[in-house]
């Protein structure tokens, strides 16, 4: 693989996959190769699947993160942005891990508040669309793009807290399952295959021209066999829902988790937070889009 | 001596308590045990961390017009749950 590092990611970070040229500054997240990685003896943070099975172990050490994706690979991310894998992976799997897992954790470790969700814009305001893997974030994102919304990305939302809370995507792409491609009536060869999904190129569905935009709402989507509906959350319940979708920066020294809790409290108090039930299928997408349009208009 | 000096309970070191719209979230930074309390729960815990248990019960009984025995049972259950989760500890562990 050759070429320039991808520069259009949040936080001024440039990402360079293996074999890609990168500038030698400290703002690059760069994969430099394969090396033996020692598993630390300290207690890890264990990530669980929705059915309670461990899928990832994380060690936050003073100068690096060690990420063990169980039965897949171990990754070491040093604070200067150097990334090692403990074995060679197919290029698409490595790309998926770097953009969708390592990048948001790296940003969080630098003090950013990063939510797992898509970033959608309309009328000068933005929504973060969150939800568990498979809930339909990407499908709904691509659908609203067809209706004229601006899509920043479908995976990570980086928040900034000033007079307003603003948001930008971690990087500009949308990953769609084959079923979603069919549902949205997109060409079957849209984008390229990355870890089992079609990753659209920056600038196709997701814009490369996103600028930090005032955040109006964080919406947690839930597929349903019933009707579409929006339930507003407040107080501790809103905070808990945000905490659950934040890339935690406990992963690092120096009170980063405390900062996350405080920032999420600000978020719960200043933007709309709620759950959106999305009926399955094309009619559900249409109903969800109408609700999102109302939510973003009310928050604008 | 301030009321806090007589508090029955406190948040252990490493526990973060953050008020959100009148409610309360508690997070043990070491274990990541996370707990959300509604406004009544937040009121209970706030009073327990600012004064003696009996004073808290009297104030809560007055505020919520609730039966004293029921209130005591509910408060004790909440205390037990939070202490077990490492989110609250007695100031005098005797």
pLDDT in tens, A37-96: 999 998 888 888 878 899 999 998 888 999 999 989 999 999 888 999 999 988 888 888
Q: Chain B within 8 Å of A240 (Cβ-Cβ)?
A: yes
Q: Chain B within 8 Å of A239 (Cβ-Cβ)?
A: yes
Q: What is the mean pLDDT of chain A?
A: 88
How high is the pLDDT of residue A201? 84
Task: Read off the pLDDT of each residue in A135-164 and give the average, rounded to a whole number.
Answer: 94
Among B13, B20, B31, B42, the strongest candidate for a mutation testing the A interface, having the largest count of A CBs within 10 A, is: B20
In chain B, residues with a C-beta closer than 8 Å to the C-beta of A243 are 25, 27, 34
Query: pLDDT tens for residues A11-41?
Result: 667 777 776 655 555 557 888 889 999 999 9
In the stretch 32-71 of chain B, residues with CB closer than 8 A to chain A read: 32, 34, 36-39, 42
In chain A, residues with a C-beta closer than 8 Å to the C-beta of B24 are 236
How high is the pLDDT of residue A1? 39
Q: What is the mean pLDDT of chain B?
A: 89
In chain A, residues with a C-beta closer than 8 Å to the C-beta of B28 are none
Give A199-204 contacts, CB < 8 A, sequence gap 24+. Answer: A199/A173, A199/A174, A199/A175, A200/A142, A200/A173, A200/A174, A200/A175, A200/A176, A201/A173, A202/A6, A202/A8, A202/A171, A202/A172, A202/A173, A203/A172
**CA-based nearest distance A25→chain B, Å:** 33
Q: Give the nearest chain B residue to A44 (CA atoms).
A: B31
**CA-based nearest distance B76→chain A, Å:** 21
> Measured between alpha carbons, how far is B35 from B63 in angstroms, rounded to an integer?
24
With vertex at residue B3, the alpha carbon angle to CA B2 and CA B7, rounded to the nearest 5 degrees, is 125
How high is the pLDDT of residue A11? 64
Q: Chain A within 8 Å of B23 (Cβ-Cβ)?
A: yes
Is the per-residue pLDDT at A143 higher than 90? yes
Which alpha helices (H) appear in B5-91, and where do they start and end?
Answer: 39-48, 53-64, 68-84
In chain B, residues with a C-beta closer than 8 Å to the C-beta of A268 are 20-21
Contact A158, A169 (CB under 8 A): yes
Contact A74, A85 (CB under 8 A): yes
Q: Chain A within 8 Å of B88 (Cβ-Cβ)?
A: no
The more confident residue out of A193 and A120 is A120
Residue found under tokens 């109408």: A290
- Residue B1 pLDDT level (bands cut at 50, 70, 90): very low
Among B11, B25, B43, the strongest candidate for a mutation testing the A interface, having the largest count of A CBs within 10 A, is: B25
Among A232, A236, A255, A259, the strongest candidate for a mutation testing the B interface, having the largest count of B CBs within 10 A, is: A236
Q: Which stretch of A109-118, A141-150, B25-34 has the lowest confidence by average pLDDT?
A: B25-34
Q: Chain B within 8 Å of A234 (Cβ-Cβ)?
A: yes
How high is the pLDDT of residue A250? 62
pTM of the model: 0.89
How high is the pLDDT of residue A8? 57
Task: Read off the pLDDT of each residue in A151-165 and give the average, rounded to a whole number.
Answer: 93
> Measured between alpha carbons, how far is A125 from A270 in angstroms, rounded to an integer?
14
A291: tokens are 């609700």
What ipTM was reported for this prediction? 0.85
């Amino acid at each position: 693989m050759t070429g320039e590092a991808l520069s259009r990611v949040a936080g001024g970070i440039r990402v360079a996959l293996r074999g890609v040229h990168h500038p030698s500054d400290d703002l690059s997240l760069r994969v430099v190769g394969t090396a033996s990685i020692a598993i630390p003896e300290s207690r890890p943070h264990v990530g669980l699947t929705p059915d309670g099975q461990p899928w990832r172990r994380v060690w936050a050490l003073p100068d690096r993160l060690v990420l063990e994706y169980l039965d897949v690979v171990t990754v070491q991310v040093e604070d200067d942005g150097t990334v090692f894998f403990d074995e060679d992976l197919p290029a698409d799997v490595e790309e998926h891990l770097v953009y969708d897992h390592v990048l948001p954790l790296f940003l969080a470790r630098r003090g950013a508040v990063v939510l797992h969700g898509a970033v959608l814009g309309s009328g000068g305001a933005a929504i973060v669309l969150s939800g568990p893997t498979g809930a339909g974030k990407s499908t709904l994102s691509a659908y609203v793009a067809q209706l004229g919304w601006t899509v920043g990305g479908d995976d990570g939302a980086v928040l900034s807290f000033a007079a307003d809370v603003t948001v930008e995507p971690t990087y500009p792409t949308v990953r769609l399952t084959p079923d979603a491609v069919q549902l949205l009536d997109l060409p079957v060869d849209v984008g390229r295959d990355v870890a089992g999904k079609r990753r659209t190129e920056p600038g196709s569905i997701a814009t490369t021209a996103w600028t930090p935009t005032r955040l109006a709402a964080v919406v947690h989507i839930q597929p349903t066999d019933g009707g579409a509906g929006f339930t507003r959350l407040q107080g501790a319940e809103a905070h808990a829902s945000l905490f659950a979708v934040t890339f935690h920066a406990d992963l690092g020294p120096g009170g980063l988790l405390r900062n996350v809790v405080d920032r999420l409290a600000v978020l719960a108090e200043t933007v709309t937070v709620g759950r959106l039930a999305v009926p399955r299928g094309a009619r559900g997408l249409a109903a969800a889009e109408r609700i999102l349009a109302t939510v973003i208009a009310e928050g604008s | 001596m301030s009321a806090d000096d007589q508090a029955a309970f406190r948040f252990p070191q490493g526990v973060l308590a953050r008020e959100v719209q009148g409610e309360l979230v508690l997070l043990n930074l070491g274990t990541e045990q996370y707990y959300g309390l509604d406004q009544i729960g937040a009121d209970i815990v706030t009073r327990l961390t600012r004064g003696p248990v009996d004073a808290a019960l009297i104030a809560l009984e007055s505020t919520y017009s609730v039966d004293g025995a029921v209130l005591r049972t509910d408060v004790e259950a909440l205390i037990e749950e939070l202490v077990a989760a490492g989110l609250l500890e007695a100031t005098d562990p005797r």
